[in-house]
Chains A and B, each alone.
Chain A
Amino acid sequence: MHLYINLFGLTIPSYGLFITTGVILANIIAIIVLKKTKQDFDNFIILEAYCFLGAFIGAKLVYLVVSFNEIDWSSIKDFYSFNHLMQSGFVFYGGLIGGLLFVFGAGKVHKIQTIEYMRNLTFLIPFAHSIGRIGCYMAGCCYGIPYDGPGAVIFPQGSFAIPGVKLFPVQLVESALLMILAALILALQLKLKWHYTIETYLVAYGVIRFFLEYYRYDEARGFIAGLSTSQWISILLIAFVIAYNVAKKIKLKINNTAGKT
């Protein structure tokens, strides 16, 4: 694990490098997919940019809520404190929800068929996330519980993780599971013309995240009734997806019945 990587004489932060690499690769793959599905790449860029904006705002807002009691709000007027607060501290689920809200909002405002772009490109979310998680491993953030089994990792001084202690490699496990999920969604899409790519991602990621939370040890996770904030969001997300699809099927059945009578 290396906080920084030396490339062509430059010292580059590993986490930023990996997340940017994930985003660039995802966009290259998107160009190929959009050519096949005959969709407009400029529309995709607009949706993606709104997604980033919403993800930033959502991830930051959830972080501020979860860490409300730990933040020194009295120092917020100091430029450097405010800048540090904006620069660091995000929660993925806040980003996911914020991103989704902004994407659908953008579709309505700019008259883009958001759902069609999303159904074809959902697999890129776990793909980019998987590469980003390798960045987490390099930086030592989002580290795992103390663990003395196969695959245990020890982080050096200077990383975000507890130094010199054997920890569960939760970042790498999540990275592997996300890449498998991305491949699975893409395979379902190509082989079976699977329509429910968004739902599959949200439910599968919810399950993955729920169980991996038990292996996370990084501080200030925010717990309510014994479950972490992310576990509660996982439960709510899975429940929402199931309820939404059941409601859609019932509505379709009622409409079909009304049409026949």
Chain B
Amino acid sequence: MGVASLVLGIISLVIGIFSSGLLGWLGAILAVIGIILGALGKKNPENKGIATAGLVCSIIGLVLCLILYIACAACVSGILSSASSF
């Protein structure tokens, strides 16, 4: 679980830094799953170190993806043109 969390955290970090807005939603989902696995992995004393590392990477990856790529959570007209004549 700890290793999975670390892998997902690193992937979400890479997406957050390098994908230039393309895959932010995917990075956020992977980071969230990484956070769940990291927090669960911390409950096992043998995996605590790697799980913590995975948790931290996933949180940073999630923050990067949220800041750079998230769209308005209450916008309904995401794919439509928002400019209307008045």
| A221 neighbours in B (Cβ, 8 Å) | 76
- Docked CA distance A70–B75 (Å): 14
- Among A23, A42, A90, the residue within 8 A (CB) of B78 is A90
| A237 neighbours in B (Cβ, 8 Å) | none
Interface residues of A in 1-50 (CB under 8 A from B): 12-13, 15-17, 19-20, 23-24, 42-43, 45-46, 49-50
- Among A24, A71, A95, the residue within 8 A (CB) of B79 is A71
Interface residues on B, range: 35 or more
Closest B residue to A146 by beta carbon equals B86
- Docked CA distance A49–B74 (Å): 20
| B77 neighbours in A (Cβ, 8 Å) | 67, 89, 160, 218-220
- Docked CA distance A83–B70 (Å): 12
Known A45-B39, A83-B23, A95-B73: A12·B83 in contact at CB below 8 Å: no
Interface residues on A, range: 35 or more
B66 interfacial contact with A, CB 8 Å: yes
For chain A, what secondary structure do more than half of its interface residues adopt (helix, strand, loop), or is it mixed?
Answer: helix
Query: Would A136 and B74 count as touching, CB distance under 8 A?
Result: yes
Query: Would A141 and B74 count as touching, CB distance under 8 A?
Result: yes
| B82 neighbours in A (Cβ, 8 Å) | 141, 160-162, 218-219
| A70 neighbours in B (Cβ, 8 Å) | 79-80
Chain A 107-148, CB within 8 Å of chain B: the 1/0 string? 000100000000000000000000011011001011000100
A232 interfacial contact with B, CB 8 Å: no
- Among A85, A89, A135, A163, the residue within 8 A (CB) of B76 is A89
Shortest beta-carbon distance, B15 to chain A, in Å? 12
- Docked CA distance A139–B43 (Å): 41
- Docked CA distance A91–B74 (Å): 5
Query: Would B32 and A88 count as touching, CB distance under 8 A?
Result: no
- Among B43, B63, B75, B86, the residue within 8 A (CB) of A141 is B75
Residue with the greatest number of chain A CB neighbours at <10 A, chosen from B33, B35, B55, B76: B76
- Docked CA distance A23–B79 (Å): 25
Query: Would A142 and B66 count as touching, CB distance under 8 A?
Result: no
Query: Would A86 and B25 count as touching, CB distance under 8 A?
Result: yes
A87 interfacial contact with B, CB 8 Å: yes
- Docked CA distance A87–B80 (Å): 13
Chain B residues within CB distance 8 Å of chain A: 21-26, 28-29, 32-33, 35-36, 39-40, 42-43, 55, 63, 66-80, 82-84, 86
29 A-B pairs (CB sep. < 8 Å): A15-B70, A16-B68, A16-B69, A20-B67, A20-B70, A42-B43, A43-B39, A46-B36, A53-B29, A67-B76, A67-B78, A67-B80, A72-B79, A84-B79, A86-B25, A87-B78, A89-B76, A89-B79, A110-B40, A133-B74, A136-B72, A141-B72, A141-B75, A142-B74, A162-B83, A162-B86, A163-B83, A218-B75, A219-B77
Beyond known contacts A16-B69, A20-B67: 15 more, CB 8 A cutoff: A13-B68, A16-B66, A17-B67, A19-B70, A24-B63, A46-B40, A49-B39, A52-B32, A53-B33, A56-B28, A67-B79, A162-B82, A163-B83, A218-B75, A220-B80
